[in-house]
Amino acid sequence: MIEFLVFVTCCSVAYYYLTFRRSRKRLYELAARIPGPFDWPIIGSLHLGVGVTKSRDIFEYMTQFLHKLELPTRAWLGPFLVVAFDHPEHVAVILNSTHCIRRSFMYRFFRFDKGLLMTPDPQHWKLLRKRLNSSFSPLVLKNFAPAFNECADKLVTSLDKYVDQGTFDLLPKVSEFTITATLLNLFKVDLRAGDNEFKEKFAVNAEKLWTLVWRRIYQPWLHLDFFYQFMDRFQEEKQRIRMIRDFSHEISAARDSTRINNNSEHPPQEDPPNAEVLIDRLERMAFETQEIDQETFLSNIDTFMFASNDTTSNVMSTTLLMLAMHPEIQERVFAEVSQVIPTTNFIPQEALSKLVYLEMVIKESMRLVPVGSILGRICEKELTVDQWTIPAGTEVVIPIFKMHRNKAVWGERSEEFDPDNFLPERCAKRHPYAYIPFSGGIRNCIGMKYAYMSLKIVLAKLIARYRFRTELKLEQLKFEPSLILLIVNKHMVRLERR
């Protein structure tokens, strides 16, 4: 009897498996035309990397694995098809396709899926992007310079105590600046003024949350919420999300108070719609046009607190670390800043375009250490890319870290720090999608110009004041993926006053 039940069970499983395969015949036919590693039945390519458990080890393993492969390549994660592309011509087609706007499944684990950055829903994203685009227009950006200068001056002053005091991690200190600047520019509030301890805790909390979530992504058995909710890390995740959301509530309450006071003391004077900052646009959508609900309103505060803080502070700290590793390049930046801006008491927006070499240095830092090491999109309809057709439902992966170090594009010294990679004549010879630190195409980063403005003002002030040193070497850096790419060694520097 037992043998008969085993036989029936095996036959049933085989029948349903074959039926499932037949229902996806087109998917398997197209996938078979794309090269890839050997796939086992049912589990697909999940055997790759067995025994590698830590996320930083997985990142290093997958980076080395992808570097050995000629892309595109496909892999099966159980029943899910994943295809990786890294040729700039292919990446351009994917990122500009209306079939590839939907975010990867992994973004749902970051919870804030109603914010512009995280939302997987293309229609929701289109609405938010259309309404919020003007919040980062040149007309709005020019008004951010005073707050950037004010916050940068406070950062410069706060770093004085570290001069000749040995090595320290720069990132938490820089995060205090970016949080304050975000509050002033994007949300028009001055919360927690002087409370640098809270701001540092907030930044560290966000970093630990994104790392916690990313480690879950690398452990497929934790993808099911039913199992995950019984784990200690789920409770930790909830606590860290709560801190971010509590701060968003605090921002919202401060805005409510500001509006009430302004309306009682002065006649309401609304900015023209094309001059509204981010919080103005969000409030209009939430309270006037009712295009978004309260959860979406708060999720976008969460999202932009992350997007304008974590990303910018990491790029800023990484750029300074790179300059500390390359003192001759640092002195060249200092010479340019001294020539373009004789006094750094106030750096006007108009001067930033003249800091050409500084911009090259920033770009080179983002080439070697891109904020996002990988992009993921869902291909919702069949899409032809060169000689291949991506089946509908495929998870498309773009390994930015690999692209930015591709010797075929960047030369034999692609692993070295060389700002001359961004000389105009070199850029003209390179495909524009060979370098995508802010993503690209339809769903590119809305705050790219905001980030460059912030970076240039702060870096110019810091380089004018201090000389940065470090014992770290570029080849020693270890990386761990998170929502952003983290340097395991930290941004360890020493300061000398110029």
Residues at the annotated binding site for heme?
445
SS3 371: coil
Could you give the CA distance from residue 356 to residue 364 in angstroms, rounded to a whole number? 13
b/e sequence 330-353, b meaning 16+ C-beta within 10 Å? bebbbebbeebbeebeebebebbe
DSSP single-letter state for residue 102: S
SS3 344: coil
What DSSP element (H or E) covers 493?
strand 492-497
For residues 186 and 456, the answer to whether their CB atoms sit within 8 Å is no
Q: Exposure of 50 by Cβ count < 10 A (0-12 exposed, 13-18 middle, 19+ buried)?
A: exposed
C-alpha distances out from residue 308 to 371, 457, 483, Å? 12, 15, 13
Could you give the CA distance from residue 290 to residue 274 in angstroms, rounded to a whole number? 19
Q: Which residue bears the tokens 């406070």?
A: 154
Conformation bin of residue 209: beta by default, left when phi > 0, alpha when psi is -120 to 50: alpha
Residues in binding site = 445
Q: What are the residues facing 403 on neighbouring strands?
A: none
Token couple for 199: 């701001």
